[in-house]
Structure 1
């Protein structure tokens, strides 16, 4: 494709993203599936153009408002070409030439726009912090409360792209063996510093086309997310629940650490995701996983399995603020519940999942959020309401067989600025081994009263 044709296609894709109430990655995948004639290199460049606009969303809108121009898909791409891409007004006008597959010629208003933006860059001294850091209004108060005077630095660290991390499946290979397999395929990777089974690629690569991926030797997973399996310290023979399993990434990591011995139950309210995850389990060579669709966090299945599990992992639905490098559209187009609904939902999920933990077992609470009310705030509230659980510091939870823990704090908090991972949080809550049957009976009675009141 010519540069002009790629630009025209990027405008079409951006229009679909803006008009479709689905995550941008899903819209982009569907867009290219319907246009299989577009080659891999062109797809990459078109997607980069669109994702560039989404990464620069607040600043592009600031500029368009400044010059009194509507932020439609054409205007956003035009502005990004000049302000971020470094193109001159004349070179942009040359691409909008109306030739076959090229964008339609610029209107008089668009010609005025390119002249107004010519020689400028994305940043401007008049922009306030939230614009420069691309922070949406709904997240600003919570992020400022979390980071204080580090707000701008922490938020700015999420403006670029996330690195591409892989997790080595220890059932299939060692990290050195995976490194060699990648090198043989012409792909350069290095061991991650925090995860003992992680690899970081030097650039982008068609990972899913590799034999190492098809054979289950490697999976795509951010380094921060990989650490949850280690926090759980699930061992061979244990009974484990991944309570919000989703696509099964953490389920895979946990089951592999158990060396295919024991039982992992992957539960989720979205049955379709569990069905699709089964292919990942098969490819990884893991047969100690079963799936269980539940209707809500209070599903009767939970009550029937009280106190039956050694480990319960809750990767709770959250604001996703820690994944903004990976999903820049989620800043501006949140698809699920807002923060005000998520916080009570997280508390309810954590409270219900805790019932599954046996005395002496562990409950791992995790999010991909940077916000305190979704993280430390939830743990503190849970501990205040559940005297039979205590917080286990990271150093005590981390399995000694896998080396030194990544942090020495009580809870795991990772940020793109300090760790170059997704923003991630995890805490390990251990249920007292001396929990008496009377305490359990009392809790059951209280729950029955709550259920009756709810009915």
Structure 2
């Protein structure tokens, strides 16, 4: 594709995302799947343009509203170009330049660009929510968490996330995985926090490489790996991954169990659980089974107090993953937060039934908001005084040790995560 053709495709994809309630990556995958003529390099360029707009969406919208222009996909792309330092003439020349280019600018669009000329993306008059690219109601919640470091953490949420891998110790050592990746020209370095993690220098298509196809590595953020480390699932244990989804943490738990013992991956979604089958086989996991949680299910009652470890990676706002999913911050509402905290409490109340005396309940979210994390744990302990929080041990770096595992992009280079280990009295 020509540069102008990629620009037009990016504008079309932005329009599709704006018109669809699904996550942007799902819309993008469908958009690109139906346009097989778009090659791999073109896809990366198109995605970079689209995701750059999504990361700056509130600021771009603020500017367009300020100059009285409609925030169309075309104008958002153009505004990003001009506010990023591209001249008005250069930006306009990309439109109408060839057969596959976006149509030429109309007079209203040209006037809008002229009003933006000489300005930059940020402006001192912007409200905090706009400047920090998040819903207004989230700002005080994150300010309570980060204080004077809020701006740095929000800046880290606005840049693309690295690509992290977890070495599958059932099939390879860390050193062997690094070597296997190097043979296919993928340079990986050990992560600083996870003992199983690798980080690639740039985002690359790992899934077509032999080390991934052979089950040597799995794609998993370093922070997510540390949740599995906190679970400390050992060989011979009975373990439940209560919100397993497609099985990412199930794979990590099976690895620490050395394929010995029994792990049950539970979820309310059959398609998500079905998606775990291929991953489990590729990783060589054979001590795991799946269980679909359904209304009226008697399984939990039959399994009461039979598990050594129960992991609840709860559904949450996902504020810690905004650098991967910038569109999610545009959809989040206070109602969503209230509904999610109620759901988290209900899930914890159900999952705790499975924990045997002396066993552990691991609660984790990819959120950085106290109502979903510390407040949720405090409320759980009031309802279930037979549990207590245990501190993170020597497996974690000194700056992370305490009652809770708290990870953030600026400080730790990971997604934002929260986790804690709750043990039931023996």
TM superposition score category, shorter chain reference? over 0.9
| Cα deviation, residue 405, structure 1 | 6.8
Structure 1 distance, partners of 2:220, 2:398, is 19
Classify the secondary structure of the residue corresponding to 2:225.
helix
Inter-partner Cα distance in structure 2 for 1:43 and 1:120: 30
Deviations 1:393-432 (A, max 9, x none): 0117x5xxxx867722111000111101000010000111
Aligned partner of 1:384 in structure 2 is 382
| CA positional deviation for 1:35 | 0.8
Secondary structure of 1:332's aligned partner? helix
Q: For 1:358-396, what per-residue CA distance to the aligned partner results, in whole angstroms no more than 9, with x for missing partners?
A: 111100000000001111111111112212111110117
Q: Is the 8 A contact 1:23 1:335 kept in 2?
A: no
Distance (Å, rounded) in 2 between the aligned partners of 1:344 and 1:277: 27
Provide the residue aligned with 1:26 in structure 2: 26
Matches within 5 A, 1:29-428: 29-84=29-84, 86-97=85-96, 99-295=98-294, 299-334=297-332, 338-395=336-393, 398=395, 407-428=400-421
Q: Distance in 1 between matches of 2:220 and 2:275?
A: 17
| Structure 1 residue 132: Cα displacement | 1.7
- For the residues of structure 2 that align with 1:280 and 1:166, how far apart are their CA atoms? 14
- Distance in 2 between residues matched to 1:367 and 1:333, nearest whole Å: 18
Residue equivalent to 2:423? 430
> Could you tell me whether the CA contact under 8 Å between 1:88 and 1:118 is conserved in 2?
yes
Q: Distance in 1 between matches of 2:399 and 2:147?
A: 24
In the alignment, the residues of structure 2 paired with residue 134 and residue 106 of structure 1 have an alpha-carbon distance, to the nearest angstrom, of 28
Matched residues in 2 for 1:363 and 1:346: separation?
14
Instruction: Provide the C-alpha distance between the structure 1 equivalents of 2:398 and 2:100, rounded to a whole number of angstroms.
Output: 54
Partners of 1:362 and 1:431 within 8 A in 2: yes
Partner of 1:446: none
- Alpha-carbon distance in 2 for matches of 1:355, 1:337: 28
> Is residue 305–residue 357 contact of structure 2 (8 Å, CA) maintained in 1?
yes
- For residues 319-372 of structure 1, the C-alpha deviation after alignment (integer angstroms, 9 at most, x for no partner) is 100000010000002499700111111111111100000111100000000001
Q: Name the TM-score, length of structure 2 as normaliser.
A: 0.97
Aligned-pair distance for 1:150? Answer: 3.1
Quote how far apart the aligned CAs of 1:171 are: 0.2
- Decide whether the 8 Å contact of 1:21 with 1:335 is kept in 2: no
Q: 2 CA distance for matches of 1:2 and 1:334?
A: 36
Q: 3-state DSSP class of the match of 2:277?
A: helix
Distance in 1, Cα, partners of 2:349 & 2:398 = 27
Structure 2: stretches of 5+ with no match in the other structure: none
| Residues 406 and 210 of structure 1: CA distance in aligned 2, closer, same or farther (over 3 Å) | farther
Question: Secondary structure of 1:338's match?
Answer: helix
SS class of match (1:328): coil
Alignment partners' CA distance in 2, 1:82 and 1:388: 59
Residue 34 of structure 1: how far off its partner (Å)? 0.6
Deviation at 1:177, TM superposition (A): 0.6
| Structure 1 SS opposite 2:393 | helix
Counterpart Cα distance in 2 of 1:335 and 1:38: 35
